[in-house]
Structure 1
């Protein structure tokens, strides 16, 4: 079917610049709150469950709606849904900034997640429509880089804003960025024909099942969701049933929410699995280090933000280098090395987080190694996916990549919070989230520190599993092949 929505922009990098502003707003809001969470917990007197859901509510809704909004964008148009997402996100950010209670903030974060999902989904779809095929892989690679850099810089921004303006300062920083994204997008993104597959029905059953599945998984993993001790077990069993039903429904659908046929391609399937594993292994580290530093060592939010800054520096350096390396080395090699660096960094950080003899300052080189691993993984994995997928399936493939990456973020955060606070009393758990656990002293502090180290070691093991997955990638270098094809295409076009 001809894609009627494609309107090649005469200046596609202008569209990239406009959509990148929206991406920055989304990921600053996603990761910036990790270092501000203790301050939020104290000032709003949030319970342990509320503190958890201030983070997870945003992530759950964003993850659940990425595929849904991706499909709706195909039907009603990318630009309208993207702008609606930006407006929703900006309005919800204002509500977050004004939140008088923890419950208000959780609700506002959920609405913010709805807007974020529309932004993330349509951001990549707009780029797919705007860029010519020979530049698409490069644009999506840079798009992933912008998201990753914003994500890892977020804790520093959140810490600095909290130190100067209080925790509401983070949202005061994000709001003008979101407003700028609205103005830039209205000016730069062309209206164009709005419907690519308007005659294809929307998979409502798939949308409901996928949302319910993710919610069941998170509820099964999250402590304090209710007073009934059996609830996590019921949610865990429900998630298994929902997963089976979801796959069965998608296989039978003529126009499914998730095109499972892409997983028949071994190269695509392995890249998607690696993206999920990398996100699970690496995302929670800034949260863990920040919580540990504030709860056990008593450092401030701004110090916690600066403490994890080496991750951002390493990511930027390695991602920039990877842009050149992908032409000379296979994604298999680069992603495996990146995962190995992740494992080394995670293990080293975990061993240093020891209140009896460790040093937070000594974690800086290891966090830099972790950032390098993440940056080295990111660009070649995205390029490999885009250049392995058929040209008419790249948008869907990247939508799956974005969804699985966000699922990894969600699982990483949920599991880290669950196991880091395992065995703590309700009061100690709230103190850990509020950054005041050190005041309680005794066994609670030692137990929390032991838990954090155990989580770090477990994440390092996950990263090692990722090395194995990456080594199973096809040996060919699709990036180099397409680089050659780009040169040929450019010569033909100039002739």
Structure 2
């Protein structure tokens, strides 16, 4: 329950901001680029730091890092509410991203450490359900808070929840056995290279929305070069940031790729449809209600999947989830029009997309975490969270870039702050056509995801064997740590 409240604080903030963004842009006077960074700056920092925090968690302990991250997230949420300029809000969002990275990196790993293998699927399923519930409430709470208290109301709601999560985590999360801490050095060079490579990748993607092809090329080339150097350095390190041996395990490699595909296909739908609804004249409250079926579908599917993971293989469940998302995305692209009277026609397809996402997440996470050695669950979950966030970032950047492509600067700003419908029908029709194109791209990624899911395990996990392997892995890890300590 303690970690679940932390999840609520993080996801309520994420999903609520998607609805509040147009109001924030209007009231703070943010241009399109600044508005993009209010949304994407958080994802950039979170994505860049998850691997770093995942490795630190394996070395210094997940418990203390989770608590520190939750404290920083809560403090930064308060700073967001006090922001008086776009620049100040962007900085506060970056601090939020740092705290969130420490939280999401350790949340699943703490559950995996606490629950036995036989109960892990249910625990993960309920965790996903609670997160999805926060996503359901997020757009509605964000819209209502914006209407009643202004856009600061969203952060004023999230800050006390974060504080409650911190207090409960201090009281109820089991403290680790300090004698089992890993005796390894932290890979500073790997951390710096991975952060720079991911940042360059993110800049290349977000700059696409700013239509600056030269900067895109420079960032893209830098990202590739840094990634190559990073791989070379990791192969030569005694204690690397990423254990490259994890990628030799087929389940882990495939699951991580499928997580990216699922996130790209589904995670920007809330942003995309929120902009679509407000451009069509909906208030923030009504736009929040409009996008709520995405997370509602995730809640329903995740609750069912918690039990299904013990009966069906990860291959069947994840492929079915991606297929549902594909159907929903195709329907969404077909029903979006510039006719304000038909805005609500998209809601059934939003529910289907959310259900597909909920059906995918638990079995993919379960398969990945059970395939990872016990001593590497921190970095395995860090890789999963990085993949999830990278996919979300790509999805959001594509939605914003494709959605505003070909629009004038004034029309781009109006599309972001929700006033495009008042400018004229020509720009609105262009914007809606762009959103349909973005949705079609996401549908193509979902189709690719179905193919990836087919390479996940075709059988239910042997939970007894998993438990035995975990014990063996832990024994080997402790013996290796003792030998390393004796050598030093």
TM-score, with normalisation over the residues of structure 2?
0.91
Instruction: Within 5 Å, give how 1:284-295 maps onto structure 2.
Output: 284-295=268-279
* SS of residue paired to 2:242: coil
Q: How does 1:100-111 map to 2 (within 5 A)?
A: 100-111=84-95
Please name the residue that 1:482 is paired with.
463
> Which stretches in structure 1 are left out of the alignment for 5+ residues?
1-16, 487-495
After superposition, the Cα gap between the structure-2 partners of 1:395 and 1:218, relative to the gap in structure 1 and judged at 3 Å, is closer
How much does 1:287 deviate?
0.4
**3-state secondary structure, aligned to 1:258:** coil
> Matched residues in 1 for 2:249 and 2:211: separation?
45
- CA 1:223–1:428: 2 relative to 1, 3 Å: farther
Cα distance in structure 1, aligned partners of 2:309 and 2:342 = 36
SS of the equivalent of 1:222 reads: helix
Deviation at 1:273, TM superposition (A): 0.9
Partner of 2:355: 372
- The 1:44/1:65 distance shift into structure 2, 3 A limit, reads same
- The whole-number CA distance in structure 1 between the counterparts of 2:296 and 2:7 is 19
Shift of 1:429: 0.9
Residue 133 of structure 1, CA deviation: 4.3
Q: Choose from 138, 150, 156 the match for 1:172.
A: 156
Query: In the alignment, which residue of structure 2 is the partner of 1:55?
Result: 39
Q: Within the alignment, does 1:438 sit opposite 2:421 as a pair? A: yes
User: Would the aligned equivalents of 1:74 and 1:196 in 2 still touch at CA under 8 Å?
Assistant: no
Corresponding residue number in structure 1 for 2:232: 248
C-alpha distance in structure 2 between counterparts of 1:364 and 1:242, whole Å: 42
Structure 2 partner of 1:312: 295
| DSSP 3-state at the match of 2:310 | helix
* Secondary structure in structure 1 of the residue aligned to 2:309: helix
State the match for 1:113 in structure 2.
Answer: 97
Deviations 1:135-167 (A, max 9, x none): 344433433343344234422221121122111
Return the match for 1:45 from 25, 29, 46. 29
SS of corresponding position for 1:359: helix
Moved more, 460-469 or 312-321: 312-321
Q: How does 1:412-491 map to 2 (within 5 A)?
A: 412-478=395-461, 481-482=462-463
**CA separation of 1:152/1:465 partners in 2, compared to 1, >3 Å: closer, same or farther?**
farther
1:351 lines up with 2:334 in the alignment: yes
- Alignment length, in residue pairs? 469
- Residue 318 of structure 1 contacts residue 376 of structure 1 at CA under 8 Å; is this kept in 2? yes
Q: What displacement does 1:226 show?
A: 8.0
Q: Which residue of 2 aligns with 1:218?
A: 202
1:357/1:126 CA distance change after superposition, 3 Å: closer
Name 2:476's counterpart in structure 1: none
Assess, with a 3 A threshold, how the Cα gap between structure 1 residues 485 and 126 changes in structure 2: closer, same or farther. Answer: closer
Cα deviation code 1:43-84 (max 9, x no counterpart): 001011100000111111111111211222333333332222
Q: How well do the aligned residues superpose, as a CA RMSD in angstroms?
A: 2.3
For residues 180 and 393 of structure 2, the distance between their equivalents in structure 1, rounded to whole angstroms, comes to 31
CA distance in 1, matches of 2:255, 2:147: 40
2:128 aligned partner = 144
Quick one: distance in 2 between partners of 1:192 and 1:270?
31
With over 3 angstroms needed to count, the CA separation of the structure-2 counterparts of 1:206 and 1:84, relative to structure 1, is same
Q: Which runs of 5+ in 2 are unaligned?
A: 468-488
Contact 1:69/1:121 (<8 A) preserved = yes
Q: Distance in 1 between matches of 2:115 and 2:378?
A: 12
Sort the Cα spacing of 1:36 and 1:347 in 2 relative to 1 into closer, same or farther, 3 A.
same
Q: Tell me the residue number matched to 2:57.
A: 73
Contact 2:4 2:127 (8 Å CA) reproduced = yes
Cα deviations by residue, 1:287-339 (Å, 9 ceiling, x for unpaired): 000001112x1101111110011112211111111122222222111111110
Matched, 1:135 2:119: yes
Match of 2:369 among 361, 373, 386: 386
What TM-score do you get using the length of structure 1 for normalisation?
0.89
User: Please, which moves more after superposition, 114-123 or 193-202?
Assistant: 193-202
Q: For residue 160 of structure 1, what is the aligned residue in structure 2?
A: 144
Matched, 1:29 2:8: no
Q: Counterparts in 2 of 1:74-93, with a 5 A limit? A: 74-93=58-77
More displaced 10-residue stretch of structure 1: 72-81 or 443-452: 72-81
Question: Do the aligned partners of 1:138 and 1:383 also contact (CA within 8 Å) in 2?
Answer: no
Is the 1:128–1:136 Cα contact (8 Å) retained in structure 2? yes
Deviation at 1:128, TM superposition (A): 3.3
2:207–2:215 CA contact under 8 A, matched in 1: no
Residue 194 (structure 1) shift: 4.4
